[in-house]
Amino acid sequence: MKEKRPAAFKNFVAYAVQAAGLDAPETRLTAHDFRRLFATDALRSGLPVHILAKVMGHLNISTTQSYAAVFDEDVARHFRQFVDRRRSLRPAEDYRDPSPTELEEFHAHFSKRKVELGSCSRGYGTPCIHEHACIRCPMLRPDPAQRRRLENILANLHERRAEAKRMGWLGELEGIEISIGAAEEKLGQMTQIVRLTLERRRPDGENPTP
């Protein structure tokens, strides 16, 4: 599997932060912050800390506990007691290490998320619910490197729309209009990703080119 560069994650986090309206001057969120937020939320939601340690790639549970936000000591103590009780009631099979086949299946899922125009962000173990209509799907993370390909697809859609109007294919026309709107939205997302990437690379204090 191709290794993701740290810059790619930083750019995606920057895009997500801006899209969520959290890019205020006094707010600075990094990929590491989201990792800590995930760990904290997972613990609060009841995920046993030893399982979270596996997910986070920690060899020591104490590392995972320190990774999450600091809790009141009494709350943390009660939580650990609750986890211990839950573990004693569950079969040992639930805590076994995954088999090579299961690990291979896990990695295969993420390999299959790579699509023509970017990558699919659907959750692990979930099927495509949009019948692989990636242009229309909100789960598609468009790759700016595929902009020319998307522009060609959009041009073809406009040609099909003109033909549908000429031939009176009103049922076909409705679907094409939806695809055109979705493709234009994805082009806008690509533009925004590139802009945020350039802004992140610009030295502090340097004004963008007008």
Q: How confident is the prediction along the chain (210 residues), in pLDDT tens digits per residue?
A: 445 566 777 777 777 777 766 666 656 677 777 787 788 777 777 777 778 888 888 887 777 777 665 555 655 666 777 778 877 888 877 777 878 888 888 778 777 788 889 888 877 777 777 776 788 888 888 999 999 999 999 999 999 999 999 999 998 999 999 999 999 999 999 998 888 888 777 655 455 444
The model's pTM is 0.49
Q: What is the model's pLDDT at position 21?
A: 67
User: Is the separation of the CB atoms in 28 and 60 below 8 Å?
Assistant: no
CA distance 178 to 166: 18
- Paired residues of 118 in beta bridges: 115, 142
Q: Would residue 65 be called left, alpha or beta, if left means φ above 0 and alpha means ψ between -120 and 50 degrees?
A: alpha
Q: What spatial distance separates the first Cα and last Cα of the chain, rounded to whole Å?
A: 40
Q: What is the model's pLDDT at position 205?
A: 47
C-alpha pair distances (Å), 175 with each of 128, 132, 151, 185, 187: 19, 15, 18, 16, 19
Q: What is the model's pLDDT at position 180?
A: 94
Pairs from 37-42 (Cβ < 8 Å, separation ≥ 24): 39/64, 39/67, 39/68, 40/68, 40/69
CA distance 13 to 32: 10
Alpha helices by DSSP H, listed for 45-169, are 49-56, 61-67, 73-89, 100-111, 147-167
Q: What is the model's pLDDT at position 80?
A: 75
